[in-house]
Amino acid sequence: MEINTHNAEILLSAANKSHYPEDELPEIALAGRSNVGKSSFINTMLNRKNLARTSGKPGKTQLLNFFNIDDKMRFVDVPGYGYARVSKKEREKWGRMIEEYLTTRENLRAVVSLVDLRHDPTADDVQMYEFLKYYKIPVIIVATKADKIPRGKWNKHESAIKKKLNFDPSDDFILFSSVTKAGMDQAWDAILEKL
């Protein structure tokens, strides 16, 4: 598929099913801990500075944000998990919103699940991966902030992450940096293959 990745815009934000776009365009959702770099990933992939709003302040993204890419596909920016300063009630609301999207959305082709290359995956990261495997949703693991680790140590960190996740070798694993754009072409290849 030929996609002009420069032709992208935010389409809408949704709290639940009744607000999702009603067409058949394939969607790729971004999941991961708050602050891991989901919105930055979208901006990097689309060569934009701040299309998906990023911030040093975790919990910035609160709704499902749908991005139209050249009328051919969408990215869906999902609010991050594991942000400590939210109430139990808000966490439950978050859980229902994500679960509804991930388990019922027919447009969904794959989830890009982001983890921080610098650290072992958190319990939430492991749970998300297990959830996606359970529902047989194709996963692309993207390990972000690779610019913060010397290249000579990438392998070691990759192995640690895979071990902790109980990584299925048939899934994609991509080392990525929004700063250097490392892994961008590989990420596009993996995504296009899922559409």
Ligand X SMILES: Nc1nc2c(ncn2[C@@H]2O[C@H](COP(=O)(O)OP(=O)(O)OP(=O)(O)O)[C@@H](O)[C@H]2O)c(=O)[nH]1
What is the contact surface with ligand X in residues (CB under 6 A)?
32, 34-40, 54-56, 58-61, 79-80, 144-145, 147-148, 177-179
What is 75-103 written as a DSSP string? EEEPPPB--TTS-HHHHHHHHHHHHHHHH
Which amino acid is present at 185? D
Our finding on whether 34 is near Mg ion (CB under 5 A) is no
Shorter beta-carbon distance to ligand X: residue 1 or 84: 84
Q: Toward Mg ion, which CB reaches closer, 167 or 176? A: 176
Q: To 10 degrees, what angle do helices 38-45 and 184-194 make? A: 90
CB closer to ligand X, 4 vs 96: 96
**Quick one: how far is CA 17 from the chain centroid?**
19
61 in contact with Mg ion (CB under 5 A): yes
Q: What does 113 bind: ligand X, Mg ion, none (CB cut-off 5 to 8 Å by kind)?
A: none
51 to each of 13, 44, 91, 166, 173, how far by Cα in Å?
13, 10, 26, 34, 25
Least separation, in Å, of the C-beta of 156 and Mg ion?
28
Contacts with Mg ion, residue ranges (CB under 5 A):
38-39, 61
